[in-house]
Amino acid sequence: MDSIVSKYDSLTSYELTEHHLVRANPWIINTLQNTDYYKMMERDSFVYNQKKMIALSKGNLILIPDSIQAKNLLKAFQKIIIDINIPEFKLRISEDTIQLSEFLVRVGRNEKKYLEMSGRVQDLKTKTGEGYIVNHACNPRYINPTNNHEYFVTKRDDDKVTKLPQIPFIETEINGLRHGQLIHPTINPISLGKVYSNGCIAIREADAWVIYYYAPMNTKVKIRYDLNIVDADGKTLVLKDIYGYNKKS
């Protein structure tokens, strides 16, 4: 994708990015979603190293958006909001007031723990507040924050061992602070819908591709802790207070 951007950026009247390209060619997201390890296993196809999979084949037709399309995409990008409700275990993508997508996530554990990566005891609860997307790690390193060791293979939910996928990690800045709180894919989706992580928001591999291409730099992010919600049928629900905030108040 980088090579395509580099090749055609000088020919466009605007700064061409991979987000422009992919949003103008939505089939690319669908193709990337289908590289999800578990989607491949559903098709009886075991993939040890996803990095060797070819998402864009020779001969694929890719539309380069013209200046009008690019302007409209930029306007759309500026209206996108990534909304995460911690006790609901949900991440939603909205354009203004119109919800585009909804995904199941996992959130930080309700505990404090010493992490070698930071060299101190950390509150692992996912932090709430408002902010922006401030970085994309397109070639992420997988590091265990407990011992600060990098790892290159992983055991999946089906007990099979594979290499780690190359799916961008998204870094957030919340209330003006960078907590190292990422939005990233998990290789163990059995953990979704649970209080499980070291503070990050994790999603399925397939969902991570969608979120990444709807969340260019400076996309607005809102992370909240709302226990009272209204479901799709209009019913009011009270969620479990997973962090015990009500007890403390």
153 beta partners: 163
Per-residue pLDDT tens over the stretch 41-99: 999 999 999 999 988 888 889 999 999 999 999 999 999 999 999 999 999 999 999 99
Strand pairing class (129-137; 220-224): antiparallel
pTM metric for this prediction: 0.94
Between the two ends of the chain, the Cα-to-Cα distance in Å is 50
Cβ neighbourhood burial of 200 (10 Å; 0-12, 13-18, 19+): buried
Contact 190, 157 (CB under 8 A): yes
Q: What pLDDT is stored for residue 225 in this prediction?
A: 97
Alpha-carbon 125 to chain mean position: 18
Counting DSSP H helices and E strands in the chain, the numbers are: 7, 18
In whole angstroms, give the CA distance from residue 113 to residue 121. Answer: 5
Q: What type of residue sits at position 119? A: G
- Below-50 pLDDT ranges, the chain: none
The whole-number pLDDT of residue 248 equals 56
**What six digits make up the tokens of 208?**
């991570």
Q: What is the pLDDT of residue 141?
A: 92
Structural contact between residues 133 and 217, judged by C-beta atoms closer than 8 angstroms: yes
